[in-house]
Chain A
């Protein structure tokens, strides 16, 4: 767990040209940033590119980092912008060259989604189904949920990252979860009978 003080110290050192400190920052955040990017973009290659891009931007912009927000929040904000840019680029590419047979543009918030989450619940493992379902969430809900689940940010930090108040963060994450559950359940009805199939244990008795 990275404490806030650690973060600020690291950032200060990196700012002063300490290459090891910057590598420490990379080490501490790369996995979470990768997972956030992966869920935002939907495929490992794009996610890896996005993480690299995020750290390059961070490195470039570090001298201007004044510590007004937490380092983690600052990094996630960069990562989020990188991902949104990548999605926008992808959409432009799609609309220019890859319009499907019916001439429809693909929805940008559904990257690389070739799965029907509802069906996946029955035939594949839950992890995969959940990932596919996340891809189908509306962008605003998805970002908040991903930052919570994969970035492990608090509501306050998510609010800072996305410029939202905490109440909105809370509500978006709730709506995201509801939507996920609806996507994962063929009829959207969470009866005990249905949930028991998916339960991994731990929650409730």
Chain B
């Protein structure tokens, strides 16, 4: 770098207020007697002046605050650690049929409303009617890798029973009360993620309005959407079943916009919603999420 070039770099820094008074004096002395550097100074200054900020779009502030507010409600409702068991890449979700469903509570332990398909599936595993103490049995799965629901945290809250965990308006979520089966490929890591997740970050720090409930979340990629039937039977909102590494979940056709392949969904479930064979979940909620939405 010749002398003028060095001075020109100093000119740039001077415009940014990064020079000491002594350095600035030296630059000023140089540009008084060097036409080229003086021209550079003028052009740099002009261009810099031309970089004026644009005003904020008028609705953006409110849009941001609304989004934050929704996130807040969401976090309060489902304070969870991401499950250690599944990365989006390791489990695939096929969203099955589409029954319009009534938003409903009572997801936990409610398996009365299963379709024929699920009953058929359930018949392959014992004790599915009893949803208590499921976690302890979760390592005894046959077919799928062990399901590890260790990383759940307790959400402390006031009074509302699980039945009243309403999904706030504006969230892309719904009560699916789905039964889903986490199936891990054998190599799937069973260790907690290094990064704190939003659930972890938030743990225990904000007020909550919901009943004490442990929730675990399973993150799945929607592989494809299939209409109506699975193996000759319909899936409704309370049903899901697993075939290999594929999870079928009934979903709400009113979800807006409708799910499509490539979407990512989270299935929230309580330990009590985990069936004894460890392969099926009675979910509280299924919601769409943005795969790229990772906390810093």
Contact = CB atoms under 8 A, between A and B. Distances in A.
A125 to B, nearest CB: 8
B295 A184 contact: no
A23 B206 CA distance: 17
B47 A173 contact: no
Contacts of B51: 127, 130, 134, 149-150
Interface residues of A, number: 65
Nearest to B35: A192
Candidate in B40, B42, B72, B205 with the most chain A CB atoms within 10 angstroms: B42
Nearest to B39: A190
A195 B64 contact: no
B296 A77 contact: yes
Interface stretch (A5-13, A57-65, A97-105, A108-116): A57-65
Nearest to B55: A31
Contacts of B207: 17
B47 A23 contact: no
A191 B39 contact: yes
Nearest to A39: B51
Contacts of A31: 53, 55-56
Nearest to B70: A56
A195 B43 contact: yes
Contact of B292 (A85, A127, A195, A204): A85
Interface in B22-79: 31, 35-36, 38-57, 60-61, 63-65, 67-68, 71-72, 75
Contact of A89 (B47, B71, B292): B292
Interface stretch (B156-164, B180-188, B194-202, B263-271): B194-202
Interface in A171-189: 171, 173-174, 177-178, 180-181, 184-185
Nearest to A57: B296
A60 B201 contact: yes
B9 interface: yes
B295 A55 contact: no
B58 to A, nearest CB: 11
Nearest to A128: B50
B76 to A, nearest CB: 10
A173 B64 contact: no
Interface in B1-33: 8-9, 12-13, 16-18, 31
Size bracket, chain B contacts: 35 or more
Given A52-B63, A150-B51, A63 B43 contact: no
Interface string A189-204: 0111001001110111
Interface string A31-57: 110110010000010001001110111
B169 interface: no
A106 interface: no
Nearest to B204: A63
Contact of B42 (A74, A154, A195): A195
Nearest to A16: B205
A56 B67 CA distance: 7
Given A35-B54, A52-B60, A52-B63, A203 B45 contact: yes
A10 to B, nearest CB: 15
Nearest to A198: B46
A27 interface: yes
Candidate in B40, B43, B63, B198 with the most chain A CB atoms within 10 angstroms: B43
Contacts of A181: 40, 43-44, 47
Contacts of B201: 60-64
A17 to B, nearest CB: 5
A26 interface: yes
Given A190-B39, A198-B46, A202-B49, A58 B296 contact: yes
B288 to A, nearest CB: 15
Nearest to B203: A63
Interface string A117-155: 000000000110110001000000000000011100011
A26 B220 CA distance: 32
Contacts of B13: 155, 170, 173-174
Interface string B184-227: 00000000000010100110011100000000000000000000
Contacts of A178: 8
B71 A60 contact: yes
Considering the complex of A and B, which 3 residue pairs feature the smallest CB-CB distances, nearest first? A203-B45, A63-B201, A61-B295
Given A61-B295, A190-B36, 5 more contacts: A31-B53, A134-B51, A155-B18, A170-B9, A202-B46
13 contacts: A30-B56, A35-B53, A48-B60, A55-B67, A57-B293, A61-B295, A63-B202, A64-B196, A64-B295, A150-B51, A171-B9, A173-B12, A203-B42
